[in-house]
Amino acid sequence: MRARLPDIAPAGSPATAPRTFLRAALAIAVLLAACSGEPDPATTPARDPDASAEGQAGPIISIRSDPETSAVPAWRAPDVPVDAGNLAQRKQEAAAALEADELFGEADDAIPLYLALREHAPADADVATGLERALGAVLQHGDAALAAIDDDRAALRRAQEIAAVAREVAPEREAVVEYLARVERADAAQQANRSGERALNARKIVVAGGKGAVAHFREALRLRPGDARAMQGLAAAESALIRQAELAANQDDYAAAEDWLAKAAKVRPDMDTAADARERIARQRASRVGNLRDLGLAALTREDLDAARRHLATLLRIAPAGDPAAVELRRQIELASHYGLFRPGQAFTEALDRGGRGPEMVVIPHGAFRMGAADDEADARDSERPSRNIRFDRGLAVSRNEITVGEFRRFVTATGYEARATRRGHSTVYDERSGSLVRRSGVDWRSDYAGKPAGDQLPVVHVSAQDAAAYAEWLSEQTGHEYRLPSEAEFEYMLRAGSQSRFPWGDGAPPAGAGNFTGALDESPGGRHWRNAFKGYGDDAWGPARVGSYSANAYRLHDLAGNVSEWVADCWHDSYRRAPVDGQAWINPGCADKVVRGGSWASSPEQTRSAWRLGSDRDTTNARVGFRVVRQI
């Protein structure tokens, strides 16, 4: 069978090698560090980003030799005898070989035949035309070989061998000169790729003077735009730099990690890889900071202050300046002796003497805050002033949520207690028809805001201050520990949770999911909207929502600023003048009016402020007021 130059196979399929190119084709496989030769973060130290990082274990990529990297020898046409007797036959043979795309592999292929014919009959127009067509065909095959370099590493060798043929046939022809230049550029690009891969494995990724891997791969792309091998090499270089950043981060050296990431970001600036790595490392850093904080807090529960201080020292070294986790842990270490066996943020429930468990409690940190409204606070009232500093000498356990209907039901079932609304047979509910709160018969703690049966996970409403205190007393009897209503100071302290702003979340509208407030986007079942509400806010609720439906505050407590307002232990006073300075409840024996704190689902923005307070008859029951309890620790 007569040999001919084959078509170049499409991407992803092998090419059929011609007799002229019976050489093994080896492909280079560039495997990113994540797949092959990845340094072990436990044993490979993070390096200076300006160093070449030589001497680290394992290659960054795996490299196999390019096929036939030796120089392609010059092509010489085989001798083909032509004389007057066989001239016509040779012309027919040449035309047939050209038609069959049998171009130069053997003496009876088109180009050797036409060259011999041209030597014998230089003026023959048919010979000149045939040779021109054969040259064009071989150049087309050469261009196809160049186009296949990304998928077939043997293609460059074929293109070079075709170049040798074209150079012998018509070295001065413009098409040949241009083709030879293309082959030269492709060859130089592959040489640059090889240099880049060697530099990459030598950890010379970014080196001054253009000798690093990145410079070599960019040179390959300059010579041959879109070169897949070069682009893959840049990806590997970027990956190696990111890996160094990860190694630095694993050693808590986030400054070095950022230096590595800055270098990685310049390798492929149009890609998001380095930015994604920066986000991952930032999350790792945040997680590490949080973990150190948690380790420190855990050490405090064991009363191991030395361990807690060691964790704090590491945290301060790796955390951004002013990180709240460091501030929190430092505060907890300083005040650890005030918590006994509890720890800040600890959640627990206690067994009840008659079975079951009490409400979930969360330990909030002791500390100090400024209670009341600031002198310049908008919508503040005289009853919220004068503001004053309050300090708590011990931590406090607070029910994470408002007491629910189900929890209050357990109390009533166990004791037979009759709540105020049950005894008098009515309470105040929301009336959809009028959009107002109205008195309705047959409503008590088992009812929701509209007087319908309430689900067990809703906060209990239609309870008086005395009902709330009775529930707390029952918990004390059942657990053997002191449960009570919070003092007004304790409530504002847990509501603010470290903030001193107008609202617990700041000075503007609440962030999404912050709580059940009066939002301009809220809509009642009948299509009503609030006239005085937070602009742009909605919480998908009209009336109290299930407890814990919205974000917890910094002390991991829910619904202090919204959902339902809450009874506290204090008697009502028109201002804070002569109020206790230690945060204890301000109680006058026999007082008729108690204090309600915290906004509700139906409170105006003004009434959702952290400093807002209201005096109400202790026997009042309605659809907006519930309660939560605290426990001494």
- DSSP string for 342-379: --TT-EE--B-TTSSB---EEEEPP-EEEES--TT-TT
pLDDT mean across residues, the chain: 88
pLDDT given at position 615: 97
What pLDDT digit, counting tens, does each position of 497-532 carry? 999 999 999 998 999 999 999 999 999 999 999 999
More confident residue, 149 or 29: 149
For 263, list phi and psi in degrees, rounded to 5.
-70, -40
Q: Is the pLDDT of residue 603 over 50?
A: yes
Where does the pLDDT of residue 31 fall: very low under 50, low under 70, confident under 90, or very high at 90 and above? very low
3-class secondary structure, 162: helix
Q: Kindly state the percentage of the chain with pLDDT values over 90.
A: 81
Is the pLDDT reported for residue 28 higher than 80? no
The whole-number pLDDT of residue 23 equals: 29
Q: Following CA atoms 64, 68, 71, 75 in sequence, which dihedral angle do they give, to the nearest 10 degrees?
A: -160
Reported pTM: 0.52
pLDDT band at 585 (very low <50, low <70, confident <90, very high): very high
Domain boundaries, the chain: 19-28+63-171, 37-58+176-271, 282-334, 361-632
If one compares 21 and 566, the residue with the highest pLDDT of the two is: 566
pLDDT at 302: 85
Comparing CA positions, the residue from 505, 511, 599 lying closest to residue 560 is 599
> Which residues, including other chains, have CB under 8 Å from residue 78's CB and lie 6 or more apart?
106, 107, 112
Band (65; pLDDT cuts 50, 70, 90): low
Please name every residue paired with 371 in a beta bridge, in sequence order, or none if there are none.
Answer: 388
Q: At what angle do helices 405-415 and 465-479 cross, to 10 degrees?
A: 70
Q: Does residue 35 surpass a pLDDT of 50?
A: no
Per-residue pLDDT band at 24 (split at 50, 70, 90): very low
How much is the pLDDT for 61? Answer: 74
**What's the pLDDT at 356?**
93
For 216-251, write each residue's pLDDT tens digit. Answer: 999 999 999 999 999 999 999 999 999 999 999 999
Q: What is the pLDDT of residue 331?
A: 83
Question: What pLDDT score was predicted for residue 63?
Answer: 63
- Listed residue (80, 88, 153, 172) closest to 126, CA to CA: 88
| Position 72 confidence tier, pLDDT thresholds 50, 70, 90 | confident
Under 8 Å between Cβ of 187 and 37: no
Q: What is the mean pLDDT of residues 458-479?
A: 98
SS3 543: coil
What's the average model confidence in pLDDT over 344-348?
A: 92
Band (pLDDT 50/70/90 cuts) for residue 67 is: low
Crossing angle (nearest 10°) for helices 273-301 and 228-250: 20
Best mean pLDDT range from 13-17, 20-24, 149-153, 359-363: 359-363
610: number of Cβ within 10 Å: 27
Q: What is the 3-state secondary structure (H, E, C) of 97-151?
A: HHHCCCCCCCCCCHHHHHHHHHHHCCCCHHHHHHHHHHHHHHHHHHHHHHHCCCC
For the cut 80, the answer to whether the pLDDT of residue 9 exceeds it is no
- Six-digit token pair at 613? 């307070």
What is the model's pLDDT at position 46?
A: 41
pLDDT in the model for residue 71: 80
Phi, psi angle pair for 332, to nearest 5° = -65, -35
pLDDT 10s digits, 391-433: 998 889 999 999 999 999 999 999 999 999 999 999 999 999 9
Lowest mean pLDDT among 324-333, 337-346, 351-360: 337-346
Closest among 169, 133, 162 to 145, alpha carbons compared: 162
Give me the architecture of the 361-632 domain, per CATH: Alpha-Beta Complex (3.90)
Nearest to 153 by CA among 57, 245, 257, 64: 64
Question: Out of 5-14, 137-146, 606-615, which region has the weakest mean confidence (pLDDT)?
Answer: 5-14
Angle of helix 228-250 relative to helix 213-223, nearest 10 degrees, comes to 160
pLDDT at 17 over 60: no
Classified as helix, coil or strand, 423 is helix
Q: What is the 3-state secondary structure (H, E, C) of 250-273?
A: HCCCHHHHHHHHHHHHHHCCCCCH
Q: Assess whether pLDDT exceeds 60 at residue 10.
A: no
pLDDT at 372: 96
- Report the pLDDT value the prediction gives residue 20, as an integer from 0 to 100: 32
Average pLDDT over residues 189-203: 93
Share of the chain above pLDDT 70, in %: 89
CB 591 within 8 A of CB 398: no
pLDDT greater than 50 at residue 54: no
Indicate if the pLDDT at residue 13 is higher than 60.
Answer: no
Question: What is the pLDDT at residue 153?
Answer: 82
Query: What's the confidence (pLDDT) of residue 58?
Result: 67
34 has a pLDDT exceeding 60:
no
Confidence check: pLDDT of 25 > 60: no
Q: Is the pLDDT of residue 15 over 50?
A: no
Average pLDDT for 280-308: 92
- 215 pLDDT exceeds 90? yes
pLDDT level of residue 375 (50, 70, 90 thresholds): very high
User: What is the structure's pLDDT at 327?
Assistant: 94
Average pLDDT over residues 531-557: 96
pLDDT at 333: 86
